[in-house]
């Protein structure tokens, strides 16, 4: 993700239409962050971004911040974290076990797919897109399949997980704000 962020920071493309598109995208990001600032706890409401700006957010996290506030963005981010944590725990527990080879392969595929979705989420309003939710369902299916073969397999969400996700949300809000200031959008 670092090369993608560096590419965006440099301006992306030398073409004028690309620069105009980037400016519009950054304006949408700023509008979303402003929406969050006006209603930080609950957001402006599901599906309301277009009521305040003519474009979508073009960033999943900004869209979630704006429409769902800190409460909704925390819940959304926890769902994403569970979707990431499940295959990681499967890999930790079953790597090196030949009888669990299929679970390991599916976990690797899930992590690769999730990585691609999250990379796209930096530039797309993907929060409510069916592809994201299908992958959440696939991750749940993977968990159920593994659990059927090993009833002791668990994915627990700890206080540390919740704290890290909350801190992630706060840090990302400030990083996105700083990024827009760095780009001269404020």
145: burial class by Cβ within 10 Å (0-12, 13-18, 19+)? Answer: middle
Q: How far is CA 74 from CA 65, 81, 115, 116, in A?
A: 9, 10, 19, 21
Per-domain residue ranges of the chain? 2-182
Query: What tens digit of pLDDT does each residue of 126-161 get?
Result: 999 999 999 999 999 999 999 999 999 999 999 999
Query: What tens digit of pLDDT does each residue of 90-115 get?
Result: 999 999 999 999 999 999 999 999 99
């Amino acid at each position: 993700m670092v090369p993608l962020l560096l590419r965006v920071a440099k301006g992306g493309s030398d073409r004028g239409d690309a620069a105009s598109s980037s400016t519009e995208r950054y304006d949408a990001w700023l509008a979303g962050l402003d929406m969050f600032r006006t209603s930080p706890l609950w957001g402006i409401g599901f599906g309301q971004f277009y009521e305040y700006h003519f474009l979508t957010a073009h960033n999943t996290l900004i869209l979630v911040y704006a429409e769902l506030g800190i409460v909704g963005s925390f819940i959304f981010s926890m769902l994403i974290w569970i979707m990431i944590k499940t295959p990681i725990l499967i890999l930790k527990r079953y790597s090196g076990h030949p009888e669990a080879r299929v679970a390991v392969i599916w976990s690797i595929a899930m992590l690769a797919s999730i990585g691609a979705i999250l990379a796209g989420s930096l530039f797309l309003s993907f929060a409510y897109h069916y592809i994201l939710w299908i992958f959440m369902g696939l991750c749940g299916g993977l968990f159920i399949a593994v659990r059927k073969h090993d009833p002791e397999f668990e994915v627990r969400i700890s206080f540390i997980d919740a704290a890290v996700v909350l801190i992630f949300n706060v840090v990302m809000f400030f990083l996105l704000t700083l990024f827009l200031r760095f780009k001269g959008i404020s």
